[in-house]
A and B are shown apart, each in its own frame.
Chain A
């Protein structure tokens, strides 16, 4: 199989994102329209009925299927499909769109990720009880299972995680469409009420409503839309075993991260990710999830993350800024939208349109989703010419 089969065949020519937050007065359709029409305008699309050939949409919480998006945008007599892959849904929806263009099925495709968790009437995740033996489902409880083992082996602690939350809170103040815009301190993080040890409130992402959209097209057609398109260098999804029943799991990393990174770097021809990648959006559903991603994605050696965090390597002024828009932590985490929101941010960064949070001249931008128990990782790498 040609590992570089996707590289430079597909380009992003338009991005859009609605205001993330507790959007009490907006329906999913309202947010989809906000995101998609911003993307249309960004791509210079004036007649989506004619110019959009297919739609891939992703959502975790909806029970309305792909029609919700088709009806919101009145995109009928077209292929509209819904993708679901836990928190990697957004990246996976994008991947389907990219593949159909690379396969020559369509020229121009709309990808929309969205979710509306705040209609459920609970703060944070629903405590669901599906199966007889299933514990009440609390994602903080799943993602914290690497903490005791990692802390023990590498001597890291809650303060190291707190620095990640402080960074993402700062970055969120610089992103106009982020949900939370408030600086916090390490003490705030350490003193917050406990959710699932070692995660206090500020170690957990803000679950919000939101929608994001990107418009992709054949690379050779991209200049018809914009003169600064960004190109897809890699897009991948990797499944993994359920870490909760995986024999011999060491709980020092999440396996799908490393597998997806290996594939993505092979597709993009990257040999030294820390040097070559200029900006990254990684999945920070919890502070530790971001820390493990630094290592699992090869930004630093296993066990060394706390030193790089202390050096500020992943802050806006560092050599590899991570979660420049505040990440899931403060921009917000509408599950299906998150991967697409990351593509929105990376596109702005590559095009030099990221305002006060602009990273200096990035060439390659990585986005990363981790979903399930976690059991799936999605990575997309974009670049300029």
Chain B
């Protein structure tokens, strides 16, 4: 049996009320979309979703990582390798990026299942994450959202068996982003829907039904990618999907999360799934993918994890459209973004275990945990006798703090703190924390984030965030 063994999701906390688009005033309670903040991108969201997916799993078992996204800061430089390092996965890992298509997430899932089936991998981590930008005033700005979903595809403890898959491919210039383009372009939306999205999605689903011998009514849940609410309804109607079988596409709460959109709906379906359920996922982009899953018994034994519903509950409204523009690099600024060669690549390389994997060390002499890695023990002065100690999945405790108004951020002040992690002390920013909620002793967990953009490229490190009381 090959299929999904675990899942996790990440949806940014910040929610932009759709009523605020264009700079209007918006009240609470209306439709909104999830937006990645200035220190988030497809990589940071992928690390968060994957961390949730890997909860209670031995990371050493993962032998492949597929990263799926249309939005990544580099045209040449692998995202999967960065995500793997941030997750502190084993080095003998098969890493690959699935890019350039909104189908990247489902393509990666299919490839993962095939790899496990072929015996070339036993445990593949698939992360779909996207952070596309719609031009101010465009339909995409209104309909899009940001998020990530992660799945472990394995040959044991499978909660959802991949039963069948069907893909169709087509060449169409309907939605695209050229190299160097900031915003997603789209041809006239009626063309996109009538000649692209609707017929190709129907074609892929029909093909899947023929292959699997199932009818639409055999599926407890059907997760459909859609560019907007209306075309989602069109496909659902044409397929004859009953309302209670249709996965909520989350327009008005999350928004179209690009390559992560269908995977996020799949993650949401798995949260509520019972053994025996069938789930269908359809995804679109230069053709369409359709996948059929059958939910199996281990689903009831999987510990609850941070999935879609958990993240949808956790929200923080964006104060204004200007703040959103500033967070996404669309605000006006006195200075151009810093260019030049940026940080020393050699320092970055030497420090990657500290900075990317957030690894400290534990002294074999006195047992003290410390950060960063250093040759001589901070406590007992023993030399070169340490074992690696991962801090990223530990719980920290705030020792002291300040609110720094000098930091470049769309919403000052920045909470900066000293955090104690099992005895190690780390100087670290605290995100998603209002100054009035900060106090010594506050338990915190850690999120991989952009720390600065020197040299015009993202540089990543970890930030602390208050640990949710419910967890």
Contacts and interface: CB of A to CB of B under 8 A. Distances in A.
Given A132-B355, A148-B400, A149-B400, A246 B425 contact: yes
Contacts of B418: 145, 243-244, 249, 251
Interface string B413-427: 100101000011111
B371 interface: yes
B402 A135 contact: no
Interface in B323-377: 343, 347-348, 351, 354-355, 368, 370-372
B56 interface: no
A136 interface: yes
Nearest to A252: B400
Given A129-B454, A131-B347, A245 B402 contact: no
Nearest to A245: B425
B459 interface: yes
Interface residues of B, number: 41
Contact of B401 (A130, A131, A148): A148
A140 B451 contact: no
B427 A197 contact: no
Contacts of B413: 194, 196-197
Given A244-B427, A245-B370, A246-B378, A144 B440 contact: no
B359 to A, nearest CB: 12
Contact of A136 (B351, B368, B408, B462): B408
Given A144-B402, A148-B440, A244-B418, A132 B378 contact: no
B90 to A, nearest CB: 23
A152 interface: yes
Given A136-B452, A244-B418, A247-B425, A141 B372 contact: no
Given A245-B372, A247-B378, A249-B425, A132 B348 contact: yes
A122 B400 CA distance: 28
Q: Which of A135, A195, A248, A251 has the most CB of B within 10 A?
A: A135
B67 interface: no
Contacts of B401: 145, 148
Contacts of B399: 149, 249, 251
A380 interface: no
A146 interface: yes
The number of chain A residues touching the other chain, given as a range, is 20 to 34
B429 interface: yes
B446 to A, nearest CB: 12
A147 B438 CA distance: 13
B388 to A, nearest CB: 17
A136 B355 contact: no
Interface string A182-200: 0000000000011111000
Contact of A140 (B404, B428, B459): B404
Contact of B403 (A193, A197, A244, A247): A197
A135 B440 contact: no
A132 B402 contact: no
Nearest to B462: A133
B378 A241 contact: yes
Interface in B373-416: 378-379, 399-408, 413, 416
B435 interface: yes
Nearest to A138: B406
A148 B461 contact: no
Interface string A68-109: 000000000000000000000000000000000000000000
A146 B418 CA distance: 10
Nearest to B416: A141
Nearest to A198: B402
B406 A131 contact: no
A310 interface: no
B406 A196 contact: yes
Given A140-B404, A194-B405, A196-B402, A132 B427 contact: no
A169 B257 CA distance: 56
A253 B416 CA distance: 19
A127 interface: yes
A152 B400 CA distance: 10
Nearest to A131: B347
A136 B406 contact: yes
A372 interface: no
A176 interface: no
Interface in A134-159: 135-136, 138, 140-141, 144-149, 152
Given A135-B416, A141-B406, A152-B440, A245 B348 contact: no
A66 interface: no
A271 B354 CA distance: 45
B423 to A, nearest CB: 6
A246 B377 CA distance: 11
Contacts of A144: 402, 404
A124 interface: yes
B426 A132 contact: no
Contacts of B400: 145-149, 251
A155 B16 CA distance: 41
A144 B429 CA distance: 14
Interface string A230-265: 000000000001011111110100000000000000
Nearest to B455: A129
B370 A247 contact: yes
A244 B348 CA distance: 20
Contacts of B371: 245
Contact of A197 (B343, B435, B462): B435
Interface of B: 343, 347-348, 351, 354-355, 368, 370-372, 378-379, 399-408, 413, 416, 418, 423-429, 435, 440, 451-452, 454, 459-462
Given A127-B406, A135-B407, 9 more contacts: A129-B452, A132-B351, A138-B406, A138-B407, A141-B404, A141-B416, A196-B402, A197-B403, A247-B378
24 contacts: A124-B406, A132-B348, A132-B451, A132-B459, A136-B407, A136-B452, A138-B406, A140-B404, A141-B404, A145-B401, A148-B401, A148-B402, A148-B440, A193-B405, A196-B405, A196-B406, A241-B378, A247-B378, A247-B379, A247-B425, A249-B399, A249-B418, A251-B400, A251-B418
3 smallest beta-carbon distances between A and B, as pairs: A244-B427, A144-B402, A197-B403
